[in-house]
Amino acid sequence: MKKTILITGSTDGIGKLTAIKLAKDGHHVYIHGRNSEKLNLVIKEIKELSNNDFVDGFMADLSDLEGVKALAAAISEELPKLDVLINNAGVYKSKIDKTIKGLDIRFVVNYLAPYTLTNMLLPLLKKSDKNRIINLSSAAQSSVSIDGLLGKRQVFENEAYAQSKLALTMWSFYLANSDRDIQVIAVNPGSLLNTNMVKEAFGHHWSSADKGASILYNLALSEEFNGISGQYFNNDKGGFGKAHPDAYETEKISNLITLTEGIIN
C-alpha cells in the first residue's frame, strides 16, 4: 500500500537519500527545503531517479515559527492525509546563532519547529490507519537549560545542539504517552554520518550517510516496528536503547512542555 510521506530538511543529506528510497518504492513523497530553487531541482532529480511523478515539496524557513505554522497550514490544505512524518531537519553550525525572536537557532530548528509542525499536523496524521512520526534525535543529548531555551543565556553551539536533541526526545516520549492514536519514535540515525552538516561541524565522518537513510526508511515502513511508540532507537548500536536519563523524568518533561507552549503561543 502506497503511503503519503513528508520529510523535513530533505534537499540534501540523509533526508534526501531517504526520500529517494521511498520514492523508488512508489510512495507519495513530499520533501521540504528553505530555498525554492534548490527544492525544485531536488524534486526534479528524485522524480527522474525514482521514475515516480508523485514527488512534490514545500518551502519554509524552520527558524521562523510563524513560517512553520504557515507550512503546516499549507500541508493541511493540500494533503488529504499523512501517513508518515519524518522530522529530519536540523542545524548545528550556523552563520546566525539567534533568531529574530532572540532564540538560539538550534533550539528553534531542532526542537521548536518540529514540535509546532507535528502538533498542527496531528489531525492529518490521525486520518491514517498506521501513522508514524519519526523524530531525529542524536547520540549527543544534554540536560536542557531553561535560560538557554528561552534565549536568556548564551549556550555554546555544541551544547545547544545536544540540549535541543534531548528536548526533542523528551517531547517524543511525552507525545507518545499522551496520545495513543499516534506512533512516535525518536532515533539517533548514527553518529558522524557523511553529511554536509557533519562536515561543517567536525570535518570528518565515521559512517556513510546511507546508514542513516536506511534506518529512517525502515522506521517509516517496516512492520517490524508496528505498535512501538515512545521509544528511542540508537542506530549506533542497531536497536532500541536508553536515551538521556532526563527523558524519563516526568517532572522535567512536564516543565519542558509548559515552557515550550509558552514560547510558541
pLDDT in tens, 166-212: 999 999 999 999 999 999 999 999 654 445 554 454 454 444 667 78
CB 134 within 8 A of CB 83: no
pLDDT of residue 190: 65
Task: Using the Cα atoms of residue 95, residue 97, residue 99 and residue 102 in order, give the sign of their dihedral.
Answer: negative
Taking only the tens place, the pLDDT of each residue in 65-113 is 999 999 999 999 999 999 999 999 999 877 777 888 899 999 999 999 9
Higher pLDDT, residue 1 or 109: 109
pLDDT of residue 18 exceeding 50, the answer is: yes
CATH code for the part of the protein at 4-264 = 3.40.50.720
Q: Average pLDDT of 120-140?
A: 96
pLDDT of residue 261: 97
For the chain, percent of residues with pLDDT exceeding 90: 82
pLDDT of residue 192: 46
CA distances from 124 to 40, 79, 89 (A): 24, 8, 20
pLDDT of residue 223 exceeding 90, the answer is: yes
Spatial CA neighbour of 101 closest among 258, 257, 265: 265
Q: What is the DSSP string of 46-82?
A: HHHHHT-S-EEEEE--TT-HHHHHHHHHHHHHH-S--
pLDDT of residue 201: 47
Spatial CA neighbour of 9 closest among 169, 156, 172, 196: 196
- Mean pLDDT, the chain, integer: 92
CB 32 within 8 A of CB 121: no
Spatial CA neighbour of 60 closest among 100, 132, 117, 22: 117
pLDDT of residue 219 exceeding 80, the answer is: yes
Spatial CA neighbour of 72 closest among 12, 15, 120, 23: 120
pLDDT of residue 93: 76
Residues in the chain: 265
Which pTM does this prediction carry? Answer: 0.94
CA distances from 20 to 8, 41, 56, 67, 166 (A): 14, 13, 12, 26, 28
